[in-house]
Amino acid sequence: MRLPVFDFKYRYDFDCFKFWINRRFMNNIKNKKLFLIFLFLIFGSMALPMRVQAIEPKITDILITNNRENVLLYARLVNGFKPEMEMAVLAGIPAVFTLRLEVHQERSFVWDKTIASHEIKRTIKYDNLKKTFSVYINGNPQPVIFSDFESAQKAMADFNGLIAVPLSSLTKGKNYYMLIKVKMDKVRLPLHMEYVFFFVSYWDFETAWNRQNFSY
């Protein structure tokens, strides 16, 4: 019986082709780690139930009080961290929450008067080497450090004792109201990461305006 002859030329050509494909593919991916994170986030987000993705962020537990000098705001953001956002933060992408706060005086026959307007920014960053979470408030270079993600999320979402307006800016016997909302800011990424975390552009959201009346 005559055995089939194996053509080593075709075997060599095929091996060269595989080597060229592998090299071309890996050269297009500058960072293998980013590629693995990309796969993890894509398949992880595809596995999320639709009912979880449909949950919208909102502000709850709103309380307006005062001390001797200022009107103070207490509030809490719920559903602010969606599962795909949590995965991206753990991959090293920062998240920024901005609280917008306005204080207005009610007036009957003219436009309501704006007494104060503020923006409070909070940023969360994860250090993969130290395994810690840093929360920056209003650009303060000294962050608050947390060892677990749950505590860091709480620090981002709880707004406790924020100064809304000095009492000296108010008139006794008048009616006022406070408007508050939280916005998730878009994150600007380095160009080499934008193709991996393309879905970050869909992170931006705004809660509805919340109105709370108070008198002085």
Q: How far apart are CA 60 and CA 100, in angstroms?
A: 15
Task: With cut-offs at 50, 70 and 90, classify the pLDDT of residue 169.
Answer: very high
Q: Report the CATH fold assignment for 56-215.
A: Immunoglobulin-like (2.60.40)
Q: How far apart are CA 120 and CA 163, in angstroms?
A: 11
pLDDT on residue 39: 52
pLDDT tens readout for residues 183-212:
987 665 555 555 444 445 555 678 999 999
Q: How far apart are CA 130 and CA 17, in angstroms?
A: 43
Residue 85: pLDDT over 90: no
Given the DSSP bridges, would you call strands 58-66 and 70-78 parallel, antiparallel or unpaired?
A: antiparallel
Decide: pTM greater than 0.85: no
Domain spans of the chain, in order of start: 7-47, 56-215
The fraction of the chain above a pLDDT of 70, given in percent, is: 66
pLDDT tens readout for residues 13-44:
445 544 444 555 445 544 555 555 555 555 55
Residue 48: pLDDT over 70: no
Residue with tokens 């108010």: 170
